[in-house]
Homo-oligomer: A and B are copies of this chain.
């Protein structure tokens, strides 16, 4: 059976960590100097592993196997949040590199076509999952026109700076693929809390969002009687509280919703706010639950409007992301590998966070595996996982990949 080299894996993860290391965390946003340095380093590593490496026109790093036949693609993303953890997507990127090497070293698998990828900008500096979207034909000219990051840096300038202005972009349709496997840290507390070491993802949950805009009348908080007020804050508190009271009645067991952004204007203690904004986000593995949340939110908006204070208007805050179902066959291969190597300490689970596999599964079969996050922490300098779990996850991916390749060859 294929065997990965745990020390080699950890050594490469630590080398990558050093590019952008800040305390225990990593600062390596897409297209930053550190990000591009890491991508060129990765391309060289792919070459050493026997792959033909290239950085495409949006920064994806592809390592192409010289072996014939449809390829199994492995990888994740090596860009980080503005203040990111050291593992996150980097884990899956180095897993792919190590699995390529391990398969090439095993006589039983050395002739199989396994490609490795590091997607660009999964973390939304310019556009969430930009690299995998570009690859899948889901990054339109309209989306690209005028695109800039939150500091106003133009995407076209970032590309030029990275030396990618006229470099061709890879497309999924240019090549034959068996499918895509992505490994990632869990970014949640469930595996650790349940004493489990591997999660095999069944669904990447869907996500919807609404932004509520409140329009009232700004007034002096001392001289404006309650009856005459149109207080945008009062309407916001009422709607937000009603959502928290009503959503549980239609929620699924693993539904989540969050109202983490609320802004009052002008936001002074002695001024009745004239306007306000509240943002709601909800996630579930079942589209029908997302539909119910949307319907309840609209009903509650109508109720707040019927009270005659500040008016509220609801708009989608983003395009709805449908739940993404992982390939059943791939899940079976990965689950068998997980059961084998973890001594049964694995589970099938949804992913509450979004991933590149949620994009790629629109064009080819996909599957994902998770390893435990210590304390459930991610997107934070404190993010970490145990070395033993890191090594185990890579071995599960290697065994699972070999199993998928063997099945595809028959």
Contact = CB atoms under 8 A, between A and B. Distances in A.
A187 B223 contact: yes
A237 to B, nearest CB: 4
A224 interface: yes
Interface in A257-301: 257-264, 266-273, 279-281, 283
A367 interface: no
A259 B233 contact: yes
A99 interface: no
> A interface, how many residues as a size bin?
35 or more
Q: Top 3 A-B pairs ranked by shortest CB distance?
A: A188-B223, A222-B352, A237-B240
Given A237-B259, A262-B267, 6 more contacts: A220-B352, A221-B283, A222-B283, A223-B352, A225-B254, A258-B269
A356 interface: no
A240 to B, nearest CB: 4
Given A237-B240, A269-B258, A270-B260, A188 B376 contact: no
Contacts of A190: 223, 225
Contacts of A203: none
A245 to B, nearest CB: 9
Interface of A: 186-190, 205, 207, 209, 219-226, 228, 231, 233-234, 237-238, 240-241, 244, 248, 251, 254-264, 266-273, 279-281, 283, 317, 351-354, 376, 378-379
Contact of A189 (B228, B271, B376): B228
Contact of A256 (B222, B254, B266): B222
